Amino acid sequence: MREVIEQNKIPRRTLYTGAGMPAIGIGTFGSDKYGEAEVAEAVYGAIASGYRLIDCASVYQNEASIGNVLTRVMEEGIVSRKDLFVVSKVWNDMHGEGDVIKSCKKSLSDLQLDYLDLFLVHWPFPNYHAPGCSQDSRNPDSRPFAAEEFMVAWRQCEELVEQGLVRHIGMSNMTIFKLEQVLPLCKIAPAALEMELHPGFQQRELFDYAIAHDMLPIGFCPLGSPSRPERDRTAEDISDMEMPEIVEIAAVHDVHPALVCLKWAVQNGQVPIPFSVKEAQYVGNLKCVTEDPLSEEEIRRINAADKNCRLVKGQVFLWPGANGWEDLWDV
């Protein structure tokens, strides 16, 4: 029998509009390893188990299957639309005039929804790659970030809010350098900032900047993304779940190290979006943030263990003449 986590036990966050959302969700990026049917079935099981935040994206190529699931769980009475907080993102090849709106409408059609709770600009430039590409893949049309170009996409996001197709808009994979260029130009401020966040890469300066500007940090790769694609791997990467601090704290709590990463994330004020197609894992991920919290000393210990190890470096987005992936992140 499926375990169901009670809604009143799941922590929540409040956006600057006053709207609420769960403090943990389920991701839907299959990392080029899991097909859309597997991901969609995991989303069904996750919602049935108590998840209400579903993080989607057009580039994940599974929104149509997830849409069938969303319709199914509502028809079966598991949830109503107002119970869910559904996120999607516009991909990099749809930043042009009119394309962002077209992309959002396609996501809404695929997801079988009338509106999105949050719509993100997935990356801050129009550089893109084909699904499943290798690490050395490059698009000759790639180019550096330009605020004016980004704002073409953002103005359309604002229009989507005005049309009622989107409740909130946000950004993803940004840096402080980029944010300082575009935030003063926004008519509608971003409500969230999706960013890589895990014990080995805490991005404290960017995290604090987001909080100071009323952007809720949503953390992808909260477990260190052990299933991430090969194109996002390098020999220097560390494994969060093998960090001594994480392993030792997990032993104290008698849980898997992954659950320590999630407890830390939620208690630190972010919204992690772990992905799994295995029921025991996604149920455990949700349940762990409702019980047996980490102590303040354990939180401090993990905070001090930051390795500044970015895992999703984005090499495939580099432009001709770039020195390396650091250029993407203004390092």
pTM for this predicted structure? 0.95
Kindly list the strands in the beta sheet with 53-55, ordered across the sheet, starting from the edge strand earlier in the chain: 26-27, 53-55, 85-90, 118-121, 169-172, 192-196, 216-220, 271-272
**pLDDT value at residue 205:** 98
Residues forming beta bridges with residue 216, ordered by sequence position: 192
pLDDT tens, per residue, the chain with 331 residues: 899 999 999 999 999 999 999 999 999 998 678 999 999 999 999 999 999 999 999 999 999 999 999 999 999 999 999 999 999 999 999 999 999 999 999 999 999 999 999 999 999 999 987 766 776 777 788 999 999 999 999 999 999 999 999 999 999 999 999 999 999 999 999 999 999 999 999 999 999 999 999 999 999 999 996 766 666 667 778 899 999 999 999 999 999 999 999 999 999 999 999 999 999 999 999 999 999 999 999 999 999 999 999 999 999 999 999 999 999 999 9
Catalytically annotated residues: 60
**Of residues 244, 239, 223, the one with CA closest to residue 301:** 244
Q: Which residues contact 326 (CB under 8 A, 6 or more apart)?
A: none
CB atoms within 10 A of CB 282: 22
pLDDT at 196: 98
With 0-12 CB in 10 A as exposed, 13-18 as middle and 19+ as buried, what is 133? middle
Question: Tell me, what DSSP letter sits at residue 328?
Answer: G
| CA–CA gap between residue 327 and residue 145 (Å, rounded) | 10
> Any idea how long the chain is?
331
Question: Under CATH, which number does the domain 7-323 receive?
Answer: 3.20.20.100
Q: Do residues 207 and 175 lie in contact, with contact meaning Cβ atoms separated by under 8 Å?
A: no
Q: Where are the domains of the chain?
A: 7-323
